[in-house]
């Protein structure tokens, strides 16, 4: 037991250098096109990170060479931050590309809104507004956000046409064509297009982006690699997060991220600690996993709330996202099995693999809990 505790303390000490919730969030881009071709573009961004030129690839903004400037700007009042952005605006606009039928569009700055200074430990999301005019008979739009600024999610709605098109893009990635015109009564996106897009979004929300969800699934995996118990647990987790995800998106259930995120971290700690203290799967484990799945569903709701779901294909998008999440979870289990499955019948498997891995998972979850509550 002393050896286990010592290992846990050492892992907890090094976790801050390995994981953090202080990552720059993707920009959320909303483009509304009017019947006369006039359009508005709203970008919900972390202005402090842009102005301080924090690398969006940094796992922790504290690791950035510009972290001091970033921290200073987070404590800056709205007017001061807008003034700072004015000096960076031309650089930002140069990295914002919107094309109409391969023709770059002129984007005119229409102002910015910055929330008041709140909890400086949490990212403050500001809104930058642009506007412009599409050429006559434009068929489609192309969006690209400079790699230097990170990932983006773009949403396009067109007056008089049904549906909202959404795409989630990696840093510097060029969007697929976003249609502006369609035949009368025909939706902008087919059901199949929506299904593919949101399945991909669900998968990438697990791999590679969902480290907390990955660790929870690994916690499930390490206690028992037998197919039937593992299937029961994964199914319970999937059903549970699907329920709360749907209820949250329909507005029936709502909890702030300040409550949900620490509880998700604690769920990781629980499954990992249970792996350490018990060598076999207990009957109540499936119900515990189900309960924690309800929490994780509220966490999944955050990304879909930001990106939005197409009203005309709401159910399709919701189901597809859950399918993508399930594929992501199964991929995590498959990878874990390929890495350690060959050792599962070894007499030292539990002492050399299960317990050390569970200690690392528990230490990470505990670190996240402390960070999300106090920092």
CB atoms within 10 A of CB 335: 14
Torsion angle in degrees (nearest 10) through CA of 38, 103, 311, 202: -140
Report yes or no on 112 lying in a domain: yes
Residues 226 and 172 in one domain: no
Residues 217 and 178 in one domain: no
Cβ atoms of residues 222 and 276 within 8 Å: no
Q: Which of 185, 205, 176 is nearest to 328 (CA)?
A: 205
Give pLDDT tens digits for 196-211.
888 888 888 888 778 8
- pLDDT category of residue 375 using cuts at 50, 70 and 90: low
Q: Find the largest Cα–Cα distance for the chain.
A: 74
- SS3 category, 140: strand
Report yes or no on 18 lying in a domain: no
Cβ atoms of residues 341 and 226 within 8 Å: no
Residues 115 and 165 in one domain: yes
Q: Of all residues in the chain, what percent carry a pLDDT higher than 70? A: 86
Cα–Cα distance between 161 and 272 in angstroms, integer?
Answer: 49
Residues 167 and 221 in one domain: no
Residues 219 and 113 in one domain: no
Residues 47 and 161 in one domain: yes
Strands of the chain (E only): list them. Answer: 27-33, 38-45, 96-100, 103-104, 108-113, 126-133, 140-145, 152-158, 164-169, 178-179
Q: What are the residues whose beta carbons fall under 8 Å from the beta carbon of 335, sequence distance 6 or more?
A: none
Beta-bridge partners for 337:
none
Cα–Cα distance between 189 and 162 in angstroms, integer?
Answer: 9
pLDDT given at position 20: 44
- pLDDT category of residue 328 using cuts at 50, 70 and 90: very high
The owner of tokens 């690791």 is 63
Residues 108 and 231 in one domain: no
- SS3 category, 346: coil
Cβ atoms of residues 258 and 119 within 8 Å: no
Report yes or no on 265 lying in a domain: yes
- Of the three residues 161, 188, 215, the one that is the final residue of a domain is 188
Per-residue exposure over 206-237, b if at least 16 CB sit within 10 Å of its own CB, e if not: bbebbbbbbbbbbbbbbbbbeeebbebbbebb
Higher pLDDT, 286 or 10: 286
Report yes or no on 14 lying in a domain: no
Question: What would the mean pLDDT of 131-139 be, rounded to a whole number?
Answer: 93
CB atoms within 10 A of CB 339: 10
pLDDT given at position 81: 95
Report yes or no on 20 lying in a domain: no
- Of the three residues 154, 188, 222, the one that is the final residue of a domain is 188
In terms of C-beta density within 10 A (0-12 exposed, 13-18 middle, 19 or more buried), how is residue 78 classed?
middle
pLDDT given at position 8: 42
- The vertex-18 CA angle with 12 and 22, nearest 5°, equals 105
Report yes or no on 341 lying in a domain: yes
Residues 342 and 212 in one domain: yes
Residues 135 and 237 in one domain: no
Residue 310: CA count within 13 A, CB half-sphere: 30
Higher pLDDT, 290 or 374: 290
Report yes or no on 69 lying in a domain: yes
Residues 124 and 98 in one domain: yes
Phi, psi at 267, each rounded to 5°: -65, -35
Q: Which of 155, 148, 79 is nearest to 111 (CA)?
A: 79
Residues 353 and 225 in one domain: yes
Q: Please, what sign has the CA dihedral across residues 141, 146, 149, 152?
A: positive
Question: What would the mean pLDDT of 44-64 be, rounded to a whole number?
Answer: 83
Question: What would the mean pLDDT of 56-62 be, rounded to a whole number?
Answer: 70
Residues 137 and 209 in one domain: no
Cα 168 to Cα 41, 152, 242, 307, distances in angstroms: 16, 6, 21, 8
Q: Which of 291, 371, 366 is nearest to 9 (CA)?
A: 366
Report yes or no on 322 lying in a domain: yes
Lowest mean pLDDT, pick from 8-17, 26-35, 48-57, 125-134? 8-17
- pLDDT category of residue 307 using cuts at 50, 70 and 90: low
In terms of C-beta density within 10 A (0-12 exposed, 13-18 middle, 19 or more buried), how is residue 172 classed?
middle
- Of the three residues 131, 153, 188, the one that is the final residue of a domain is 188
Domain assignment of residue 291, given as a range: 205-374
- Is residue 2's pLDDT more than 60? no
* Count of domains observed in the chain: 2
Torsion angle in degrees (nearest 10) through CA of 187, 193, 199, 202: -60
């Amino acid at each position: 037991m002393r050896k286990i505790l010592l290992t846990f303390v050492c892992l907890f000490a090094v976790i801050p250098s390995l994981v953090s919730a202080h990552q720059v969030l993707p920009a959320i881009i909303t483009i509304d096109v009017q019947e006369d071709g006039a359009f508005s573009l709203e970008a919900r961004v972390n202005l402090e990170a842009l102005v301080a030129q924090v690398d969006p690839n940094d796992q922790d903004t504290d690791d950035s060479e510009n972290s001091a400037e970033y921290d200073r700007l987070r404590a800056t009042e709205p007017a001061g931050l807008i003034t700072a952005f004015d000096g960076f605006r031309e650089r930002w606009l140069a990295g914002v590309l919107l094309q109409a039928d391969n023709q770059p569009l002129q984007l005119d700055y229409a102002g910015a809104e910055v929330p008041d200074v709140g909890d400086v430990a949490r990212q403050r999301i500001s809104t930058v507004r642009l506007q412009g005019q599409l050429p006559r008979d434009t068929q489609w739009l192309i969006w690209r956000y400079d790699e230097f600024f990170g990932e983006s999610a773009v949403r396009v709605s067109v007056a008089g046409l049904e549906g909202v098109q959404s795409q989630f893009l990696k840093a510097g990635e060029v969007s697929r064509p976003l249609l502006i015109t369609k035949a009368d009564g025909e939706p902008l996106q087919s059901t199949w297009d929506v299904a593919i897009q949101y399945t991909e979004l669900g998968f990438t929300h697990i791999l590679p982006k969902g480290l907390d969800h990955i660790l929870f699934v690994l916690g499930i995996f390490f206690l028992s690699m037998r197919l039937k118990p593992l299937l029961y647990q994964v199914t319970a987790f999937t059903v549970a997060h699907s329920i709360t995800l749907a209820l949250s998106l329909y507005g029936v259930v709502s909890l702030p991220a300040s409550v949900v995120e620490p509880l998700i971290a604690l769920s990781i700690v629980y499954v990992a600690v249970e792996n350490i203290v018990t060598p076999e799967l207990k009957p109540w484990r499936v119900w515990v996993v189900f309960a924690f799945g309800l929490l994780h569903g509220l966490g999944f709701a955050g990304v879909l709330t930001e990106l939005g779901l197409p009203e005309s294909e709401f159910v399709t998008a919701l189901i597809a996202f859950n399918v993508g999440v399930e594929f992501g979870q199964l991929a995590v289990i498959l990878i874990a099995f390929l890495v350690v499955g060959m050792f599962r019948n070894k007499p030292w498997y539990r002492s050399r693999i299960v317990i050390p891995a569970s200690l690392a998972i528990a230490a990470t979850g505990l670190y996240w809990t402390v960070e999300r509550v106090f920092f």
